[in-house]
A and B are shown apart, each in its own frame.
Chain A
Amino acid sequence: MEVQKVSELKQTLNVKVLFIAFLLPIFIIWIIDSSLKGDFSSFDTNDSFTRFANATLTSYTLGSLILLGNLFFYADSRKRPLAPLIGMILAVLIGIAATLFLIGMGPMLLENNGSVRAQTVYNIGHTIVSFLAISLAMVLCVGSMFAALTNGKKRKMFDEEE
């Protein structure tokens, strides 16, 4: 029981350390940028919030749509049930409705686009480009890690028997 608690605590700590490692470069850049420019106002909080909200709504909707497609694989192993399919369709519809409703509310989520349709189309294009950039970066980082691992000296896994 004690060992399990220590293991869980270590796992939580590791996740926190990794989260800090993700944020640390951004903080370093912020501090250097602020020091070089002499103020802390490099980013506009209103624009940043608008972008954050649009990115959240669009990626939620697109992510749900992809996972809805994924449900077909799940359905293959479960005699094609309808309930999860309907649940996921509902989740996608909620995402679409929330996006259209919040963009239609006014200038809060409109980014230099004149109409709800223009903003929605721009959001989809923007998210696709961001996904592309994130995917390429992930492949390169994980690839670099494997390149570092395979180009190191060969390790002996087990001591050979005499």
Chain B
Amino acid sequence: MMNAIVFFWFPLSLIPLGAWFSLSSKTNLRTNFGRFAAVLGFILVCISPWTVPTSPSSSIGHLLGFIIGPSSLLLIGIYLLIFSGNVPVGKLPSSDRKLGTFCMALGSLWFCLMQWGEFTPIYDGREVNRFWLIFFPTFILMICSLSSVLSISMLIIGEERQSESMVMRMVSIVSIILIICGLTIDGKNISSETFTTYFWLSVSDLFGILVGISLSIFIFGFVIYVYERSIGEPNSVPPPTSEELSQASQKIAANIGGAESE
């Protein structure tokens, strides 16, 4: 128990704490310290299968080590695809689009091989990492539903966005096909029956998370609302004097005008 706290849970808590520290600090030293703590925490969590092999929680570190490769490929691919297009700043060469598509395809293939092929995360050489059985269905289900929402929202909010909406619809359809494949085709290490069980559990999980997060946001808003209501109206400031008004008009007059644009 103590080993798990020292080598897994403490490093895991360092990741959000370090990120929070680095984002909220105004000095360079504290920002760098926050970043260092977050990276150190991440490395310690990834090596937890070796530091605390007896703890079941170290399966999370094992999973992180397995998904870091395909996830990085997907993220790099998306970055290249976005910035090789028509962007006003930070535009990359158009040739990077092909590289981005290649990274995306390779990342997706890697994830598929982890589900159906030989790359499945096997923990301790015996059984499939149980957190992989949670991660993959949730990941693919979220892509499926979210891309469907984005497809419709582009039609509702945007103007003449039919082709972009079609791209998102295609993403949703491809992920539906992948889910159907998981529900019907046995992998090398994961049977379709196991995937079916975990897939429907991930649907419940997703709704549970949405309800829980919405509830916590509601409570947060309610606490702020009650406090703001209790402090009353702020004291109103006196109207400006004639001296202040003349000073303001001088400033405005000095800043209005300029050369005519060609």
Q: A125-149 toward B: CB 8 Å interface, digit per residue (1/0)?
A: 1111111111011111111111111
Please, which residues of chain B bring their CB within 8 A of the CB of A63? 212-213, 215-217
- Residue B200 lies at the interface, judged by CB distance under 8 Å to chain A: yes
Known contacts A14-B156, A130-B138, A130-B209; is A51 also within 8 Å of B204 by CB? yes
| Chain A residues within 8 Å of chain B by Cβ, number | 78
**How many whole Å from A9's CB to the nearest CB in chain B?**
14
A residues 17-35 touching B (CB-CB < 8 Å): 17-18, 21-26, 28-29, 32-33
- A142 vs B147: C-alpha distance when bound (angstroms): 8
Contact across chains for A132 and B206 when beta carbons are under 8 A apart: no
- A153 vs B96: C-alpha distance when bound (angstroms): 17
Contact of A137 among B139, B209, B226 (CB under 8 A): B139
**How many whole Å from B75's CB to the nearest CB in chain A?**
7
Contact across chains for B172 and A91 when beta carbons are under 8 A apart: no
Please, which residues of chain B bring their CB within 8 A of the CB of A56? 208-209, 211-212, 215
B residues 223-252 touching A (CB-CB < 8 Å): 223-224, 226-227, 230
Contact across chains for A145 and B164 when beta carbons are under 8 A apart: yes
- Residue B131 lies at the interface, judged by CB distance under 8 Å to chain A: yes
- A25 vs B167: C-alpha distance when bound (angstroms): 16
Please, which residues of chain A bring their CB within 8 A of the CB of B200? 42-44, 48
- Residue B6 lies at the interface, judged by CB distance under 8 Å to chain A: no
Please, which residues of chain B bring their CB within 8 A of the CB of A137? 138-140, 142-143, 146
Known contacts A67-B216, A152-B164; is A22 also within 8 Å of B208 by CB? no
Most buried by A among B57, B79, B216: B216
- Residue A49 lies at the interface, judged by CB distance under 8 Å to chain B: yes
Contact across chains for A151 and B205 when beta carbons are under 8 A apart: no
**How many whole Å from B106's CB to the nearest CB in chain A?**
14
- Residue B119 lies at the interface, judged by CB distance under 8 Å to chain A: no
- Residue B54 lies at the interface, judged by CB distance under 8 Å to chain A: no
- A150 vs B200: C-alpha distance when bound (angstroms): 35
Q: A106-138 toward B: CB 8 Å interface, digit per residue (1/0)?
A: 000000000000000110011111111110111
Please, which residues of chain A bring their CB within 8 A of the CB of B83? 150
**How many whole Å from A145's CB to the nearest CB in chain B?**
5
Contact across chains for A144 and B20 when beta carbons are under 8 A apart: no
Contact of A154 among B86, B154, B175 (CB under 8 A): B86
Please, which residues of chain A bring their CB within 8 A of the CB of B204? 47-49, 51-52, 55
Contact across chains for B142 and A149 when beta carbons are under 8 A apart: no
- A60 vs B176: C-alpha distance when bound (angstroms): 29
Please, which residues of chain A bring their CB within 8 A of the CB of B206? 55, 130, 134
Contact of B82 among A58, A83, A143 (CB under 8 A): A143
Contact across chains for B86 and A25 when beta carbons are under 8 A apart: no
Contact across chains for A29 and B134 when beta carbons are under 8 A apart: no
- Residue B135 lies at the interface, judged by CB distance under 8 Å to chain A: yes
Query: Please, could you name 16 A-B residue pairs with CB atoms under 8 Å apart, sorted by A?
Result: A26-B203, A29-B180, A33-B183, A52-B207, A55-B205, A56-B209, A56-B212, A59-B211, A91-B216, A128-B12, A133-B134, A137-B140, A137-B142, A150-B83, A151-B85, A152-B85
Which residues from chain B sit less than 8 Å from chain A, CB to CB?
A: 12, 16, 20, 24, 56-57, 59-60, 63, 71, 74-75, 78-79, 81-87, 97, 100, 131, 134-136, 138-154, 156, 161, 163-164, 167-168, 171-172, 175-176, 179-180, 183-184, 196-197, 200-209, 211-213, 215-217, 219-220, 223-224, 226-227, 230
Other 20 A-B pairs with CB < 8 A, given A42-B196, A125-B56, A147-B82: A22-B148, A29-B144, A32-B180, A47-B204, A52-B211, A56-B211, A60-B213, A60-B215, A63-B215, A63-B217, A67-B216, A87-B226, A130-B202, A130-B205, A141-B143, A141-B147, A142-B150, A143-B79, A148-B163, A148-B164
Closest 3 CB pairs of A and B: A55-B208, A150-B85, A59-B212
